[in-house]
Structure 1
Amino acid sequence: MLNSLYSGITGMKGQQTKMDVIANNISNVNTTGYKSQRVRFQDMISQMNANAQGANNNGRGGINAQQVGLGTQVATTDVMMGGGSLQFTGRNLDFGIQNGDNSFFVVSESGNAGEPMQYTRDGGFYTDTNGNLTTSNGFRVMGYSAGTPANVNGFNAANLTGQAVGPLSIPETIPNPAGGGVLTIQDYSIDNTGTILGTYSNGEAYVLGRIALSNFANPDGLEKVGDNMYNSSANSGQPTYGGPSDDGFGTIRSGFMEMSNVDLATEFTEMIVASRAYQANSRSITTSDEMLQELINLKR
């Protein structure tokens, strides 16, 4: 049988994979913090019809190898980790990471020590009835807890990053660190260094903790696991934790959300390319079939 039949099949399979990726990108055009993907191809092994020959002593020149390729295959499905644009929301628990394409928020399903962490660019956070800082699906947001709330005057929240990351919360009430009963929260805010400040009923502001960010040696190696989250992998490297605005880490902006980095113009152009490539590969199959038909018709 003609090898072109099978080469055409590999081409159609590859373009179908590309179309699957394009469709997924388009479906996530409004997904918070989504990173688009692209498909790259590489050729398969080639059939050697004649080996290369070097020049000989009789003055005859060298001859190149005669090879016929046997099709194509998907080389990679790259994740494009470039940052999406930040959109203003005005909500004080919405956060976007600025100037830090390599930085991710750290979350945990239960917040227990030793549990594998997961990572996300989706900074839409919430508080539950216990004051726990959570993601939209209930995962705990991780960071550096202040333990006993410390008065903001003269306190450097950067000192918190020396400890292990743990779950963060914004408690409704706290014992007065200076003595004198229970204090009730009046307001809270999170600045661009990730420091959580709570203002309580005595009129004082207290440091409650600091949001953590994670960096990776190879963020392209992270594995998507759904729910806008990633797992580390053998090729991403282990995470390095730090605080927003620290050296090498991004800055977080309260009241903003990172949008998807999908470019619809690019995706629709690639859709046309994939469609035409698929069509061309199908034509190579039908043409090969017509050639076989002509061969069969030699015997009438």
Structure 2
Amino acid sequence: MSFNTALSGLNAAQADLNVTANNIANVSTTGFKESRAEFADIFSTSSFGASGTAIGNGVLLANVAQQFNQGNLEFTANTLDLAVSGEGFFILSPSDTNTNAIFTRNGEFGVDSNGFVVNNAGARLQVFPVNADGTVTATSLSSTIPLQLPQTQGVPTVTSAVDIGVNLPANGSILNPLAFDPLQASTFNASTSLTVFDSLGESHVVTAYYVKVADNQWATYYNTTDDVGATLPIDITGGIAGAGGQLYHLTDFDNSGGFQSNTPDPIITTAIDFGNGSDPTQTINFNYANNGTTQFSSPFTVNVLNQNGFPIGRLTGVEISETGVVRANFSNGQTNAIGKIALSRFQNAQGLSQIGNNSWEDSVESGTPLVGEALTSSFGQIRSGALEVSNVDLTAQLVNLISAQRNFQANAKTIETNNTITQAIINIR
């Protein structure tokens, strides 16, 4: 009997050594959670209970329990390196054909050939769908989708409105609006240019020319260039006939230099055909009111110059907030929210089933995953450009090695002692 008791001790010590060795082997594994060998004694009883003189029958390995305490954060220069500071697991989808969710604390993510954000095993990071402002539209596990980075910003946005605010010099010379010529600087007092976009996303430079026609009154012409570089006058709907029959608008100021009115109002161009196959019915509304348009005795200045068109944009970068909102930045200056990283937690994290690669699956013991957003309920904060390192305490593990080794030696000594006693009995004559 004592041989078997000592043998169970050897097996337990060996299991302890194996668990400790595995912890030490993964001391540099991102998101790794150390394990602890838990033992229980073996005690035989009869149907009437244990005898007062009964002796235990050894030890057995009761459980190998992972310890989900927080590891330290290590900061990197990669935006897609993610860490959860606090409670929560990232949710992953293993593949197109296997949509069963798996869970991890390892935030080493990259991008595959299709633009999906994946871990080093190819599992896709799951996010909640969001509105344009980053608010989540659904927060259930079934509503999560793989995070995919867009390559373009979709179709271009045609320029339809321009906000413009200028100061026109009150001491400017009065000129004849019928003598306006965009190639002769002496026929206008000031000018400014901006870039607009047609329905194909192609850019065009539109120039506004300001001509003082009377005290407190200015005429404004607009020109651009067509697809072959020729000057293209832009007419104003309902405007005033000017040089070469081009239609312009008037802007009036009061005696204090404040903006008073436009004629016509609103200032909307007639259809512009840029000659490149874009929409020939494009019009632009120029808005001077409430944009700081003045006539003071100071040099010509541009205070406001904005337009609402955009070309097709290429992805230039990704930003991930502390709450997990993923925003894609594009070369056309646009920023779009494309998802919010989903987190999950469990009533009993130690009941999760290990599947390798620092990943787990839910089980009956863990309970169903509770899904939510970072910094809500008991979920932690998402840190972009950081990784959670292994929570293994190397010093403590080395001490465990010594203890396991001593336990193994002690149980081996028990077997040796039993062998000596048995041999003595055999040698009795």
1:135 to 111, 119, 123: 119
SS at match of 1:214: strand
What's 1:171 paired with?
A: 150
Question: Residue deviations 1:133-161, cap 9 Å, x none?
Answer: 11112111111134xx72xxxx2424453
What amino acid does structure 2 have at the position aligned with 1:157? Answer: T
**Is there any run of 5+ residues in structure 1 with no aligned partner, and where?**
53-63
Q: Does 1:39 align with 2:25?
A: no
Structure 2 distance, partners of 1:129, 1:5, is 60
CA contact (8 A) 1:51 1:66 kept: no
Structure 2 distance, partners of 1:15, 1:42, is 13
CA contact (8 A) 2:134 2:325 kept: no
Structure 2 distance, partners of 1:197, 1:129, is 20
- 1:52-63 correspondence to structure 2 within 5 Å: none
Structure 1 distance, partners of 2:119, 2:36, is 28
Question: Residue deviations 1:70-108, cap 9 Å, x none?
Answer: 1111111111010100011121110111022xx100001
Structure 1 distance, partners of 2:112, 2:424, is 73
TM superposition shift of 1:65: 1.2
SS at match of 1:5: helix
- What fraction of aligned residue pairs are identical, expressed as a percent? 34
What amino acid does structure 2 have at the position aligned with 1:193? Answer: T
Q: How many residues align?
A: 276
What's 2:328 paired with?
A: 198
Q: Does 1:157 align with 2:135?
A: yes
Give the aligned CA root-mean-square deviation in angstroms: 2.1
- Structure 1 residues 51 and 218: alpha-carbon distance in aligned structure 2, compared to 1, 3 A threshold: closer
CA contact (8 A) 1:194 1:243 kept: yes
TM-score, L = length of structure 1: 0.86
What amino acid does structure 1 have at the position aligned with 2:64? Answer: T
TM superposition shift of 1:178: 5.1
SS at match of 1:209: strand
TM superposition shift of 1:183: 2.8
Q: Does 1:104 align with 2:89?
A: yes
What amino acid does structure 2 have at the position aligned with 1:35? Answer: K
CA contact (8 A) 1:111 1:140 kept: no
What amino acid does structure 2 have at the position aligned with 1:109? Answer: P
**Is there any run of 5+ residues in structure 2 with no aligned partner, and where?**
159-198, 202-311
Structure 2 distance, partners of 1:159, 1:166, is 12
Question: Residue deviations 1:32-67, cap 9 Å, x none?
Answer: 00000011111102367x988xxxxxxxxxxx8111
What's 1:233 paired with?
A: 363
What's 1:118 paired with?
A: 102
CA contact (8 A) 2:74 2:388 kept: yes
Structure 2 distance, partners of 1:34, 1:220, is 14
Structure 1 distance, partners of 2:408, 2:110, is 45
What's 2:256 paired with?
A: none
SS at match of 1:189: strand
TM superposition shift of 1:218: 0.7
TM superposition shift of 1:174: 3.0
TM-score, L = length of structure 2: 0.61
Structure 1 distance, partners of 2:156, 2:11, is 66
Stretch of structure 1 that moved more, 229-238 or 195-204: 195-204
- Structure 1 residues 156 and 115: alpha-carbon distance in aligned structure 2, compared to 1, 3 A threshold: closer
Q: Does 1:292 align with 2:427?
A: no
